[in-house]
Amino acid sequence: MTAVDDHPEIPSKPGAGGRAAGLTGKGLQLAFIVVAAGMLCFFGRLPHARQQQVREVIRVFLGILLEAMPFMLVGALVGGLIEVFVSPEGLAKILSGRRRRSVLVAAAMGVIFPVCECAIVPVVRRLVRKGAPLSAAVAFLLAGPIVNPIVAASTAVAYAGDWHVVAARLALGYVIAVVVGLAIGKVFQGGQALIPQGRDPHAHVHGGDGAPRRSRLRRFGGRLLEAAHHGASDFLDVGRFLVIGAFVTGVLRTLVRQEHLLGGGGDGPLAMLGMMGLAFVLNLCSEADAFVAASFRGLVGFSGQMAFMVLGPMLDLKLLAMYLALFRKRAIVALAVSIAAAVFLSIVLYGHLVELVHLCVLLSRRSIAS
């Protein structure tokens, strides 16, 4: 028996949620324009120290955009390819079955679609339009940027081939994505968590009986062009939130010292919370954050480094802004709280499990030696 109640129902015309999201997006854009224009107008009148801070904000802002935009473009193109080449029947077959099975499969799809967190939101938008269950879409959204071969390779390089770190990161990312996906799917039914997307502007590019479009789509090149149209639409729609999130991140990274977020270092709960806060602010790409986490090995312990590498690809300022293009506000709050709690608790439990395994191994060695 399939869990059909978990499939989001996207109405053809945006309702109150869609209008609210549109107003939110316009309000954020207006605030961004006003603040950025104000910074430019008063830049020359600021003291030298303040001018240096403004330059740092601009540097961080442009750095995030230059790092994230290519990956987001790749994700938008992947989403377009899914729209054109993956039929609803094929997707339903992949994610069919019971809710738990579909979530387990979706959380592992990053192995096939290795995209980072900057690029995955457009892909998830397409999966939702194709009828993917909400719980499965959330699982792929969270696990895709971690459970993929590119991130595994970069983590192995950053930690000098320590495959325990690689395995722990991928396993924790997978488990957290499954747990949060099931929880969100249980709390929000149907389209309650999703912003109505409306009809795809490229869904019907020809009128009449559709014969010209069908003829063009029979050719592989024509289908690639159609996928590019879909990808461009998603890229422009989601990209505005990335720009706003990058600007806010640049301001916070300039004004907040990193050591204030670390909770005094060490390997306790405060260090974990501090590294989670740092990951939330820094907005690093999942292909690069392992190198930053490894640089903290002399300051924080394994649990803090792992919290940094697991939370960042699931929840940061940039993603929080981009989620506005996909989820309703209450769903974003529930998603953020669930992710933070799941990351903290899972890493604490993992640490206790590792200690228990080490204790069992030590006891077994002593018993053999005696």
Cα 219 to its chain centre, rounded Å, is 34
**What is the C-alpha to C-alpha distance for residues 45 and 52, in angstroms, rounded to an integer?**
12
With 0.85 as the threshold, say if the pTM is over it. Answer: no
Cα 322 to its chain centre, rounded Å, is 9
- Residue 300 phi/psi, 5-degree rounding, is -130, 160
**In a 10 Å sphere around its CB, with 0-12 CB exposed, 13-18 middle and 19+ buried, how is residue 216 labelled?**
middle
Question: In this model, does residue 344 exceed pLDDT 90?
Answer: yes
Question: In this model, does residue 2 exceed pLDDT 70?
Answer: no
pLDDT for 39 equals: 64
Question: In this model, does residue 11 exceed pLDDT 50?
Answer: no
From the CB of residue 243, how many other CB atoms can be counted at a distance below 10 Å?
19
Q: Where are the domains of the chain?
A: 4-204+219-369
- Residue 194 phi/psi, 5-degree rounding, is -105, 145
Q: How open is the CA angle 245-251-257, to the nearest 5 degrees?
A: 120
286, 318 Cβ separation under 8 angstroms: no
247, 32 Cβ separation under 8 angstroms: yes
pLDDT for 312 equals: 92
Q: How open is the CA angle 331-336-337, to the nearest 5 degrees?
A: 100
Residue type, 146: I
- Contacts of residues 332-340 at CB distance under 8 Å and 24 or more positions apart, as own/partner, are 334/184, 334/187, 334/188, 334/193, 335/138, 335/180, 335/184, 338/180, 338/183, 338/184, 339/142, 339/176, 339/180, 339/311, 339/314, 339/315, 340/276, 340/311, 340/315
Give rounded-to-5 percent helix, strand, coil for the chain.
Answer: 75, 0, 25
- Which residue reads 């997307």 in tokens? 197
pLDDT band at 147; cut points 50, 70, 90: very high
What one-character-per-residue DSSP string does 239-262 give?
HHHHHHHHHHHHHHHHHS-GGGGS
**What is the C-alpha to C-alpha distance for residues 218 and 50, in angstroms, rounded to an integer?**
59
146, 169 Cβ separation under 8 angstroms: yes
Query: Span 321-337, mean pLDDT?
Result: 91
Interacting residues of 242 by C-beta distance below 8 A, sequence separation 6+: 65, 68, 69, 72, 118, 318, 321, 322
**What is the C-alpha to C-alpha distance for residues 233 and 325, in angstroms, rounded to an integer?**
13
Residue 104, both tokens = 């387990």
pLDDT band at 27; cut points 50, 70, 90: low
**What is the C-alpha to C-alpha distance for residues 187 and 218, in angstroms, rounded to an integer?**
42
Q: Which residue has the higher pLDDT, 253 or 117?
A: 117
204-256 pLDDT, tens digit per residue, is 443 444 455 555 546 777 878 888 887 887 777 767 777 776 777 677 667 66
Q: Which residue has the higher pLDDT, 258 or 276?
A: 276
54-82 pLDDT, tens digit per residue, is 788 788 788 777 766 777 777 778 777 87
- Residue 12 phi/psi, 5-degree rounding, is -75, -25
pLDDT for 146 equals: 94
- CB burial readout 217-226, b (16+ within 10 A) else e: eeeeeeeeeb
77, 120 Cβ separation under 8 angstroms: no
158-182 pLDDT, tens digit per residue, is 898 889 999 999 999 999 999 999 9
**What is the C-alpha to C-alpha distance for residues 165 and 155, in angstroms, rounded to an integer?**
8
